[in-house]
Amino acid sequence: MKEIIELNKRILTEAPEAVPKEFGFIMVIRNDSAAKELAALPASIRADFEKFLQKLNQAMPDDFEYQVLLGNEHPYLTIIYNDGAQTVGNCPVKWDLERSIFDQLPAINWDSLRGFALANGQMFDRMIEEAKQRPAALPSTKQLQKEFAEPMKDFIKTKRKDASKVHVLVWSEGQEGSTGEEFANMKAFCRALPDLMATQYLVITVVADGKPLPERKIEVMKREALKELEDMPISHAKALLKL
């Protein structure tokens, strides 16, 4: 991992402005174009990073992918096995932070990682099939607003005073009461909504520009978020509270 640690230190020291403020990190994924992520780096760092990625591609089996995360306090390399739409998963590899990645890769039992990913993929396949048989249990925004009428009223009264952000009241099973989330703007909220729904946070109301959004508009946003999750069957099923 020492190569990643060193690259990360150079980015934070020499080019912190190259880290997208929107995300707070730079992520490079094998087989995906990283031109945009790398373009903002100084030429010397970019050249060394590209050499590292090229060497990493040569050192790893073709059926494994990876994610390299840089630009924050927790740089990391995650190995991913991908054997189709459902069998995709992070592989359990513990890195020695002080040793070279390329000294550690030869010791990895790739067949064992394949078996781990395939076993988990079969479990996910079963979950997907079970979810197909279950009805959606996602309550409508209207139902949620009726159930959380009092906390919603207090939330709107408080948050409408701040028109600089988008304020969202959410609830999740097992959580004591509803909680508020903040987003820089509507674009940021819409981008986060699929993940909120996939992790089974239910959106009760949204306050933007100092005003609560109409219930029908929130419903439209939820439907659009569900469409984005259609290619991720388990996340989609979770968002519909089938799992």
Q: How far apart are CA 88 and CA 132, in angstroms?
A: 20
How many CA atoms within 13 Å lie on the side-chain side of 96?
10
> What DSSP letter does each residue of 112-168 carry, written as one string?
HHHHHHHHHHHHHHHHHHHHHHSPP-PPPHHHHHHHTHHHHHHHHHHHTT-TTSEEE
Contact 84, 99 (CB under 8 A): no
pTM of the shown model: 0.52
Q: How far apart are CA 66 and CA 189, in angstroms?
A: 28
pLDDT in tens, the chain (243 residues): 889 999 999 999 998 888 887 777 888 888 766 667 788 888 998 899 989 999 999 998 888 888 888 888 888 888 887 655 444 556 667 888 889 999 999 988 888 887 777 666 555 566 556 667 778 889 999 999 999 999 999 999 999 999 999 999 999 987 778 999 999 999 999 999 999 999 999 999 999 999 999 999 999 999 999 999 988 887 888 899 986
- In the structure encoding, which two tokens stand for residue 161, read together? 């005073």
- In the structure encoding, which two tokens stand for residue 38, read together? 């790398």
